[in-house]
Amino acid sequence: MNVQKILLKWEKIDEASQDDVVADLGVLALNECWAAYFEIYEYSEPKLTKEVSLELAASCLRHLVVDLEDQVLAAEYLSKLIRSRNLSFNEVAHDLIRKATEVNDASTEASLLETVIHSFSSIEDKELALERLCMLFEKKLYLEDKLKLANDKLLKINPQNIQGLRHLKNSALLHQKWHDLVSILERLLQVLKRPEEKLRAALDLAAIYLYQLGSPKQSLAVLEKYGSGRIDSSKMRFHAYEALREWDSCIAILNGSLEKTFDDEEKSAIHYYLGKVYDQKGDLREAYINFLKSSSLTPEHLVATEEGIKIALHIGDIGEVMGLLNHLLDKKHWKKEFIIRANDLIERLKSIKSTHAN
């Protein structure tokens, strides 16, 4: 049936079957007879089943968005549909917007949602719509100003909305607003339910206190309150106790880490830090022992050996360090740079030993 026959038919009849409506609208859309299309749809819509009516509503919305490129009219139409049928956000998102827009057309989706949010009758649907809008602005469209406006509305509706607080956290982190970030993380810790999510938020809060605000006591308090679960927080706790100059606590953490590793590189690093802590504590003998242990585990790293030499000057045990270096030089596979550096250390030690002898 051509367009003219369809128009003549609708001038004479009071109603048509649902199948006729769908078929006739298809012909009119194919021929881009939009005035007749929307007139017939509006006239027939009350007599259609809910399922068919929703399908045709999605088609109308798509024609407005894609064929007529009129997003303003599309938004007005969608807003009217939401109010007249009391549609939920999920119905609008899945049954209408997704079918009416091109794949990955985040800009059109955001434009429609921005306009129709006020049309939803329930707070829950408005909240869901704003969550979706924030996601589009943040991850698809990268519109920070619009993200902030939408997120402010979301948190006004529900100050405990987890997604809204996360957006707020990301913004504070991006702009390095550390005190704001502390407040946001504390709010998140009150509403997060999953243990692993709460733990990560607690570790983030402890890290901000320690590394950005210079508050090791608050950092340790957070770690004590929320624990660390399966995530190793020993490094952070070590740095906190180091900042507080609580050397015995630092030593306990390092010894605990030493018991858990079988890797020589890791053991060497731990012994090196033990040496540094014992040195700070004033226990030169233990510092010296740990520097030598570190050097023996990874002899190619001469930093620990050099630290041992500094301690040897105070306790007079230079011979052991020289013996270690001479032993290392017997190994033929060392790089030339290592051999030069080791020989230089030996010469310096010989000079120091000679001075002490005199």
pLDDT higher than threshold 90 for residue 250: yes
Highest mean pLDDT pick, 5-14, 24-33, 314-323: 24-33
Q: Structure tokens of 120?
A: 């939803």
d(CA 229, CA 304): 33
Of 140, 60, 141, 52, nearest to 99 by C-alpha is 60
> What 8-state DSSP symbol labels residue 47?
G
Residue 97 has pLDDT above 80, yes or no: yes
Residue 358 has pLDDT above 70, yes or no: no
162 residue type, one letter = I
Residue 55 clears pLDDT 50, i.e. is over it:
yes
Query: For the chain, how big is the Rg over CA atoms in Å?
Result: 36
The Cα–Cα gap between 350 and 337 comes to 20
Measure Cα distances from 224 to 43, 197, 312 in Å.
Answer: 68, 17, 39
* Contact criterion met (CB below 8 Å) for 206 and 180: no
One-character DSSP codes across 71-116:
HHHHHHHHHHHHHHHT--HHIIIIIIIHHHS-TT-HHHHHHHHHHH
Same fold yes or no, 122-191 and 256-358? yes
The CATH number fitting domain 122-191, selected from 3.30.310, 1.25.40, 3.40.1440, 3.30.300 = 1.25.40
Domain limits of the chain? 122-191, 193-244, 256-358
The CA-CA-CA angle for residues 210, 211, 215, to 5°, reads 30
Identify the pLDDT of residue 354.
63
What is the CA angle 19-20-21, rounded to 5? Answer: 90
Distance CA 57, CA 45 (A): 9
Q: In the structure, what pLDDT confidence band is assigned to residue 12 with cuts at 50, 70 and 90?
A: very low
Angstrom distance (rounded) from CA 204 to CA 208 = 6
**Complete DSSP assignment for 164-207:** HHHHHHHHHHHTT-HHHHHHHHHHHHHH--SHHHHHHHHHHHHH
Tokens matching residue 245: 């100059």
CA-to-CA separations, 317 to 218, 333, 347, 355, in angstroms, rounded: 42, 28, 16, 14
Give tens-digit pLDDT for 254-311: 999 999 999 999 999 999 999 999 999 999 999 989 998 998 898 777 788 778 877 8
DSSP 17: -
Tell me, what's the pLDDT at 353? 60
CB neighbour class for 253 (10 Å; exposed up to 12, middle 13-18, buried from 19): buried
Under 8 Å between Cβ of 81 and 100: no
Nearest Cα to Cα of residue 202 among 213, 214, 212, 192? 192
67, two tokens? 């064929």
Structure tokens at 109: 């989706």
CATH assignment, 256-358: 1.25.40.10
Per-residue pLDDT tens over the stretch 98-128:
888 887 789 999 999 999 999 999 999 999 9
Predicted pLDDT of residue 44? 77
The model's pTM is 0.74
Mean pLDDT is lowest, of 16-25, 130-139, 230-239, 313-322, for 313-322
